[in-house]
Chains A and B, each alone.
Chain A
């Protein structure tokens, strides 16, 4: 593959984009982590590419780009989906949450406060290289929202859409079940 700096870092104004792409770009408004942003995108831009390449929210990862790994998992209207298999232009009326939007501002210390699942992933050593982790955590948030998992086996089955190349699964399951057990109202 021929990767030039231009294709790696296309910004809204990038002069290095091929002319055809610039010509067919159109305004697309996305609401990501509560913030509305108008982008200029070609219709074929996936939500994943829009987040990473045009909004520079690189927490969401691209593993396979074909729905087979879960690295790109984000929440759309609080439901977990694969950002690689939807077009940005299809998500104009939705609320998108990425890993960058999970932590909140701690008013007292004015530092950012991790989401309980982020905290649990650290506490349970639930990653090694960390590449799958943003997808795992967003997926786990979706899992808790859905409320169908009752046991560790349920967690394993309902988290099967997130592959971990490092095999950090025991820690991942432990992290998720710990949060599940501490929030009985959400399960």
Chain B
């Protein structure tokens, strides 16, 4: 780890000002991703701003009928919060499918959005990596790429610069629920729909998301409808706990009188951001939920997917996972 100075932020504005003043500064929340990357010399901030004392630690109801998750609420406190377990069980389940109990006690909701890829080459400073060192090349395309992306990898020039995935489970559920990220920065406050928060790699894979330098995430807003009756988070991985997803599916259905009124399907482990296709979800409306329609959507969602050798199995795996998750969501007995 490189040397750095440390300061505790006492207010939101002060934190933003301090962060903007130094290009090499970083916010630290739970520390579970940043310190890991600093130990590997992948992240080398020269100044850490500890934001844990900022008043962003509560979960509150908002006017829209939804719920606001403070950026510094821990993943554990979010997953076990009564409003979340009752109204947004999909989110609760996705969070609890990730990391370990210890890590979830440390990890914050804001930090979870900002966590970086687990691509082995990104972590290994001895190898080329366009995300870590723009222009150096991508070691994964021709290397070990079992955990890598199969969708959205091509840049506009039809080249591939990075096949990293975003590793979060929580964000897959947030994408399905159409959460909104609230941020504040040197230029004021703004909101970013979760679907637009993370980017595709294109030819600038060093940028994970659209947060601007100096901006601070203050909260994540959940819309009023949390799909509490028909939902499933299916996570497939190399061991049954404490492992990142190879493929995950957040499925949420609104079923009335035997017909689908609204469907959400978000995929994790397959792309640089949680993957959704609202156009294909829409083909499920007014249909009776059954394996045939689910299989059609699953096949269509993976159309154009490309494997890079070790990860090619993910294409078929993702299709099967989508069908299974949608069937699980359909058959889940209504919450009482």
Contacts and interface: CB of A to CB of B under 8 A. Distances in A.
A65 interface: yes
A79 B105 CA distance: 7
Interface string B77-94: 000100000000000000
Contacts of B100: 67, 70, 160-162
B3 to A, nearest CB: 6
Nearest to A157: B241
A70 B39 contact: no
Contact of A81 (B4, B52, B80, B102): B102
A43 B31 contact: no
Contact of A85 (B36, B80, B241): B36
A160 B48 CA distance: 31
Nearest to A42: B3
Contacts of A85: 30-32, 35-36, 103, 106
B52 to A, nearest CB: 7
A139 to B, nearest CB: 7
B313 interface: no
A160 B242 contact: yes
A161 B103 contact: yes
Given A20-B3, A81-B106, A89-B6, A146 B101 contact: yes
A160 B98 CA distance: 11
A90 B101 contact: no
Interface in B204-218: none
Nearest to A77: B105
A131 B248 CA distance: 34
B39 A87 contact: no
A80 interface: yes
Interface size on A, as a range, is 20 to 34
A117 to B, nearest CB: 15
A67 B32 contact: yes
A79 B80 CA distance: 14
Interface size on B, as a range, is 20 to 34
B178 interface: no
Nearest to B48: A43
A24 interface: yes
A86 B35 contact: yes
A142 B102 contact: yes
Nearest to B106: A81
Contact of A90 (B31, B102, B241): B31
A67 B76 CA distance: 16
A105 to B, nearest CB: 28
A63 to B, nearest CB: 12
A90 B105 CA distance: 15
B36 A67 contact: yes
Given A85-B32, A85-B35, A80 B50 contact: no
B31 A161 contact: no
A73 B31 contact: no
Given A66-B36, A87-B35, A80 B28 contact: no
Contact of B105 (A46, A80, A159): A80
B221 to A, nearest CB: 26
B317 interface: no
Contact of B106 (A20, A86, A139, A148): A86
A167 B80 CA distance: 30
Nearest to B6: A43
A143 interface: yes
Given A87-B35, A142-B102, A161-B242, 20 more contacts: A43-B4, A43-B48, A67-B100, A67-B102, A79-B76, A79-B105, A82-B32, A85-B30, A85-B32, A85-B106, A86-B30, A87-B28, A87-B48, A139-B102, A146-B101, A157-B241, A160-B101, A160-B242, A161-B99, A161-B103
Q: Name the 8 nearest CB pairs between A and B, nearest first.
A: A161-B100, A160-B241, A43-B6, A160-B242, A161-B102, A79-B105, A85-B32, A82-B102
19 contacts: A20-B3, A24-B3, A43-B4, A43-B6, A65-B39, A80-B102, A80-B105, A81-B106, A86-B30, A86-B31, A87-B6, A89-B6, A142-B101, A161-B99, A161-B100, A161-B102, A161-B103, A161-B242, A162-B100
